[in-house]
Amino acid sequence: MGDTSGAGEPTLEEQIAAYQREFQDLDPQVEQIVSALSRLNRRMNVAYGRQTAELGISNAEWEVLKALVLSGAPYQMGPGELAKRLGLTPAAMTHRIDRMVGEGLVTRERDESNRVRVIVELTAEGREKWLEAMRLATVFEEDLLQDLSADERGVLGQFLTCLLRRVEHAQPDAGGRLSDLG
């Protein structure tokens, strides 16, 4: 593959060479892997952001829709539970829910069995936005992995899952936003 770095961004090779010049203990193989993963993650987030923008939703709204879908039918959660799952403050979650209620993506109602509790529920329109985002993401992801065979995809998936488990074990509190870790 050719140079796919952004304008002004050094190639991975240039970055690793500069790091080695400044920090001789660097393992270039390790640095290539983590730098490639970091750049891939950043570029994928940009691509997903463009896709959700085409649908008239933000990445932040997509995260709420995803959390509700992952909760299973009837696609309901309390705002506090959503905030915790997404690594947000309650105030930030309230603001996000307010916006999404206004857009018809979710409803917010008092729990009839416990009037203190509020329930956020995915609407039909919210579910349709989620499905359309998934359709777009599937096309993007298939294109991304087109050069890998099914076996290579399986091995890559296993390796990345292994790395993820190691990080989750070493940093169990790092599921939220980086600002929450300070």
Compute the average pLDDT of residues 118-144: 96
Does 5 or 58 have the greater pLDDT score?
A: 58
Does 16 or 5 have the greater pLDDT score?
A: 16
pTM of the full structure: 0.79
The CA-based angle 170-174-66, given to 5 degrees, is 125
Instruction: Measure the CA–CA gap between 146 and 140, rounded to whole angstroms.
Output: 10
Instruction: Measure the CA–CA gap between 29 and 13, rounded to whole angstroms.
Output: 11
Burial-class residue 165 by CB neighbours within 10 Å (0-12, 13-18, 19+): exposed
Check if the beta carbon of residue 99 is closer than 8 Å to that of residue 84.
Answer: no
Reported as a single tens digit per residue, the pLDDT across 22-79 is: 999 999 999 999 999 999 999 999 999 999 999 999 999 999 999 999 999 999 999 9
> Which pLDDT score is estimated for 44?
94
Sheet holding 114-122, edge to edge: 76-77, 114-122, 106-111
